[in-house]
Structure 1
C-alpha cells in the first residue's frame, strides 16, 4: 500500500509513513489477508491456491482513489515474495449505518494494548501490555481506540461498544518488533453513522496497516 501511495499520492504516503495522521499519529488504512475459498484445507497450513480475494480499505476517499488507480495499473501484487496475479478490482461501498448501530466481525485478530500496569495496584497486565477480549480492561481500551480514530478523522467520537458477541481463537503474528497477540471478534457498536462507516472501512483495534482487525462482514 505504501508503494502504491508513493506513486499516486506521494505526499500522503510520506505523511502516513513518517508521522501518521492527526494528534495520535494513526495510519488510516487497513487490509485483509488473501483468502482462497476453493483451496484445500490442511491442518496447520495456510490454505492458498486458485482464485482468491484480498481487500484494502480506508475511510479517506483520496487514499481509496490512489489505491484504485495503483492496482488498476498492475497485473501482479508482490505479497511477501508471493506473486498474486490481479484478475479484477471491485469497489465495495460501506454499509448504511443509519440506525446508529452496527455489528462487525473481523477476519484477522484485533490488537488492543492497555497500560503495562494497572493504575491502582501497579500489577503488570502482560509483558507487552496486550489485552485479550475476555480481559476486564479490554472493552475500555478498545472503546478508546475507536474514539481516537474518530477524532483523527474529525468525526463524532461518541462511539460505544455495546456488546462482544463472539471471540475467535487467540493468534500471534510477528510484525515489526516482537509478536503481537490478539483474537478475531464480533462486536456491536453504536455511534454516528458516518463514524461507523469510517470504522468499517478502517478496521478495529490497532495495527490495521499491518493487517490486524480487518472487518470481514
Structure 2
C-alpha cells in the first residue's frame, strides 16, 4: 500500500534568508505512516494548484504571526514578526485544499491561519488584549516537550474521537490566539482561561488545527501521536 504523501509548509528565517524545517513535523508524519515533504515557497497560482493536486494532505506549520490585514484589522504595536510570503502562499494553498477536500492539519500558526482565512479574528497579543484576570501562561520556556496547562475537550466532537479523553495536558508556545471564531469552524478544545485551543471544520474529510505543539512531544505523549496518526490516516483514504 502506498504511503500518503504529505506537503509540509516551510518555516522561514528572514534574518538568514532561508527556508527550514523542524524535524518533529516530518518525523511525526513518518512515524504515523506518511511521507512528509517540505514544500517550496511560492505564490504562483499554477504551482499552488499543482501542489494541491499532487499531495494527499497538508500540514500547516507554526511560525510567524498572521498579518492582521487578513482578518480586517490594522497592525497593532503588540503584533509580532510577519511574513508576507507565507501569508500569500498559505492563503492560496488553503483555498485549493478546501476546494479539493484534501486533509489539512494546522499547528499553532496553522490554527490561527485557518480561523483568519475563514472569516474569524485573532488576538494580536493575548497578554495585551485579554482580561488579566482570565489569563494563564501560554508561552513556556524550554523544554517544549513538557506540558504546562490543561485543555478541555467536549465529548462527541472530532478531537475527542481521536484522543479519547475529555482533558489533556499540553505544551504551549504562542502569544496570539483566536478572538472571534469563524462561523465555518467548530471549537473542539478550550484552555482553562477559555481561549480556544483546537478547531475542526465540519463537512470536510479532515480539517483540524491545534494551538499546542504535538511535534515536540509525539514520541512521549500518546494523544499527540494520535493527532498525527489521525491526520495521516485521513490522507491515505
TM-score higher than 0.5: no
TM-score, normalization by structure 2:
0.28
**Where is the helix percentage greater, Structure 1 or Structure 2?**
2
Which structure would you say has the larger RCO, counting Cα contacts within 8 Å and 6 or more residues apart?
Answer: 1
TM-score, normalization by structure 1:
0.29
